[in-house]
Structure 1
Amino acid sequence: MLNMQLANKYAKAIFEVAQDDGKIDEYGTDLKTVASEIDAHKELASFLVNPQIQPNAKKDLCAKLFKEELSVSVYNFLMLLIDKRREVLLQEIVREYQTLSNAAQNIIHAEVTVASALNEKQQAKLIEKLEESTGKKVVVRTKIDQSIIGGVVVKIGDRLIDGSIVRQMQSLQKQLMAN
């Protein structure tokens, strides 16, 4: 719980800097770059989270790896995390930052389940309808699940819109059984 609160505070701090600099997307990309590089190299991750390794050694390594790749503010933020021994929170900070970024840019994510892949026209129409109903920009992640037979199931946050053939058949069966 404490780690989540700390991650939230750090994410808000770098997000406020990004807003002030007008570089919300750029800083988000930089943070994701660092997090994915660390995730991709387990030895690097182990090195950075090891409390027995001095912060200066961690900062030297990060300078070699990231100084040229990152914006100055994100690089300095990374150095601050190391100084404060909060580098273990980086993944959660990136997630929180993305949440703040999405909220500020009026973006929501929708998980769409379909029986077969949508073509570009169908996907564009679906996104248009979702944006119309939510009033926000919608980023769609599509999953294919043939067990729904047809139709679409959309999950946005805690809302579920189930327009699948399977659900319609189940509803029809309940109606018939009730009569």
Structure 2
Amino acid sequence: MSDTIIAKRYATALFQLGQEKLKLDQIETELRTLREIFLSNEELVKFLKHPRLSASQKKQLLSDTLKGFSKETLNTLMLLIDRHREEIIPEMADHFILKMNDVKGIADATVYSVNPLSEVEKQRISETFAPKVGKQTLNLTNIVEPSILGGIRLRVGNRIFDGSVSGKLNRIERQLVSTNNRR
């Protein structure tokens, strides 16, 4: 079974537990924090996968480090350690966050622009494009990319909305080439 399927199952189980205990928002916050810790510290996964560390040592490290976390989140992490699945913790957190976003009508999106966008510009982009992808709002991450020349390129999941100058130039070029090939 692939790690993705396993991560989804753990995320779903934790999500259902969070619903029962009315702790979804708290667990989401904890998993966002945990995901950042794992993504910013690649050595942590290597450390947790080290064969000389016993499961009890790994559990102790996590419970000491994550003292303010809910019992539900900690128990899930301990279960992952018992089953030698430490490497799927960030992916499990991602799946949980996606489930929360679906419930809240939120989608994560990336906006590429020539200059950093202001909060007002991000808000306008969110208001404009959220309905187009069937969501109420978008969590925008702005990436400055001078190669787009102007305008913006927005990526929401698998969908790309390209209103950049470089994108328009590429479309014009393809159109001209296909017109010339027909002759």
Structure-1-length-normalised TM-score: 0.82
% identity of equivalent residues: 29
Number of the residue aligned with 1:95: 94
Tell me, yes or no, if the aligned pair for 2:108 and 2:138 is still in contact at 8 Å: yes
Number of the residue aligned with 2:27: 27
- Are 1:132 and 2:131 matched, yes or no? yes
How far, CA to CA, are the matches of 1:118 and 1:52 in structure 2? 48
How far, CA to CA, are the matches of 1:102 and 1:155 in structure 2? 16
Tell me, yes or no, if the aligned pair for 2:35 and 2:94 is still in contact at 8 Å: no
Tell me, yes or no, if the aligned pair for 2:110 and 2:154 is still in contact at 8 Å: yes
Structure-2-length-normalised TM-score: 0.81
Tell me, yes or no, if the aligned pair for 2:27 and 2:73 is still in contact at 8 Å: yes
How far, CA to CA, are the matches of 1:171 and 1:39 in structure 2? 36
- Are 1:86 and 2:85 matched, yes or no? yes
Moved more, 167-176 or 7-16: 167-176
- Are 1:2 and 2:2 matched, yes or no? yes
Number of the residue aligned with 1:107: 106
Note closer, same or farther for the CA distance 1:149–1:76 as it changes in structure 2 (3 Å cut).
Answer: same
3-state SS, counterpart of residue 10 of structure 2: helix
User: How many residues get paired?
Assistant: 178
Number of the residue aligned with 1:18: 18
How far, CA to CA, are the matches of 1:118 and 1:44 in structure 2? 33
How far, CA to CA, are the matches of 1:21 and 1:14 in structure 2? 10
- Are 1:153 and 2:153 matched, yes or no? yes
Note closer, same or farther for the CA distance 1:130–1:40 as it changes in structure 2 (3 Å cut).
Answer: closer
Residue 138 of structure 1 aligns to which amino acid in structure 2? L
Residue 8 of structure 1 aligns to which amino acid in structure 2? K
Number of the residue aligned with 2:46: 46
3-state SS, counterpart of residue 53 of structure 2: coil
Note closer, same or farther for the CA distance 1:34–1:141 as it changes in structure 2 (3 Å cut).
Answer: closer
1:105-153 CA-partner distances (Å, limit 9, x unpaired): 2211221112223333322221111123233121111122222222121
3-state SS, counterpart of residue 123 of structure 2: helix
